[in-house]
Amino acid sequence: MSKASTGIPRQSLTSAVAEKLRDKIILGELQEGEQLRQDLIAAEFQVSRIPVREALRQLLAEGLIDIIPNRGAVVSSLSPSEIEELFEIRALLEREVLRDSIPNLSAGDLAHAAALLDKYDQELRDENSVADWGRLNTQFHASLYAGADRPQFMSIIRTINNNGERYTRLQLFLSKPAREIASREHAQLLALCRARDIEPACELLYRHIRAAGRSLRDVVEKRRHTPDAKR
């Protein structure tokens, strides 16, 4: 958040614009390399250019956009190895948080995780729900960390997820086997958490995220070498 914005109204306007743009990028409505023009965004949201500029600064800090000379703000495009790296970081951070969380997960937390997983599995069968897949995956994972009191870890994980979610959705959309593997591993993960089987759960989570990162790297690599592929 920019230090220059002092008044609450302007700051919340900035956050509101940032949130809308962030959603559009995560959902793929704004695609990699697409230009974000301040005047058009200001007109679309009926705000002045100041909150738009500040919102863009925020998205830049989150890695969702790049500023390119003569083109201005564009949706960032991650290389296949950068995408894999994001998943590597996630695997390391989430494993730590899960280890702290498991002993403290309440029956209510586990029930909440189970409900999210049911919803996720249902939506995975429906390709029209593709927009929700990345979000539900993130929500399910986060629900397993409810027992950990690690706000800083969670804040970094959230930022990484905002960057990775659009790619998670792409991977799930392109690969039915990947969807089946993810479902199976999520169910195993929940069972291990329920049994308080800490190390096996952490190990599975780590492998689950690393494997998703590798398969995504391959998917994106292939797509970028196919000239007609829509990103």
Burial of 204 (0-12, 13-18, 19+ CB in 10 A): buried
Q: Alpha helices, DSSP H only, in the chain?
A: 8-26, 38-45, 49-61, 80-101, 107-124, 130-144, 151-174, 176-194, 198-224
Cβ 20 to Ni ion shortest distance, Å: 26
Place of tokens 């790296």: 85
Minimum separation from the CB atom of position 52 to Ni ion (A): 34
Number of chain positions touching Ni ion (CB under 5 A): 1
Nearer to Ni ion, 40 or 115 (CB): 115
Would you say 57 or 208 has its CB closer to Ni ion?
A: 208
Find the residue with minimal CB distance to Ni ion: 137
Q: How far is the CB of 11 from Ni ion (least distance, A)?
A: 34
Cβ contacts of residue 176 below 8 Å, gap of 6+?
Answer: none
Sort strands 65-68 and 35-36 into parallel, antiparallel or unpaired. unpaired
Instruction: Quote the least distance from Cβ 138 to Ni ion, whole Å.
Output: 8
The pair of structure tokens assigned to 42 is 């200001």
Query: Per CB under 5 A, which of residues 131..160 are in contact with Ni ion?
Result: 137
Nearer to Ni ion, 101 or 137 (CB): 137
Residue with smaller CB distance to Ni ion, 57 or 179: 179
**Could you list the residues that contact Ni ion (CB under 5 A)?**
137
